[in-house]
Amino acid sequence: MVAPYVGLMLSKSLALDAALGFGEGELSQTGNASAEADHTFLGANLNYTQWFGNTQLSGRRGWLHDEEDYDNAKTNGAPLNNTGARSRVDQFRLRGQAAWWMNGVMPYVGLAYVSENRATTLAGARDPIGPDG
């Protein structure tokens, strides 16, 4: 996997970061079954941080797009038809946090919301997590 990352300060309180990743791999299973896979992702975040005395407020809005593409599996070199699959996840995140600096200790409270959309061509696959969290 190769994933270049870039971060940019937009102001004293706002920052933007992004990463783009590409990778290849191989899935190996018992019975000499294997499949080659390609993986790509793109993620970006807008980050906010502001201090008010000893109190820090921060937030993040993020987006992630991830795809995996598996070729048909092979057993002992022979391809198994209709075993390839393409999976995709689009995820949006929103997070807020308040923290208090207290002589070397910084307790915090935070709240996060995640919404995602998953899709796959893998036969029989289901989404055990659901669309929101």
Give dist(CA 112, CA 58) in Å, integer.
Answer: 12
Comparing 48 with 121, which gets the higher pLDDT?
48
Least Cα distance to 75 among 37, 36, 35 occurs for: 35
Say which DSSP state 76 is in.
Answer: T
Give dist(CA 112, CA 71) in Å, integer.
Answer: 36
* Three-class SS state of 122: coil
pLDDT tens digits along 38-82: 999 999 999 999 999 999 999 999 999 999 888 877 887 787 777
Least Cα distance to 25 among 36, 11, 40 occurs for: 36
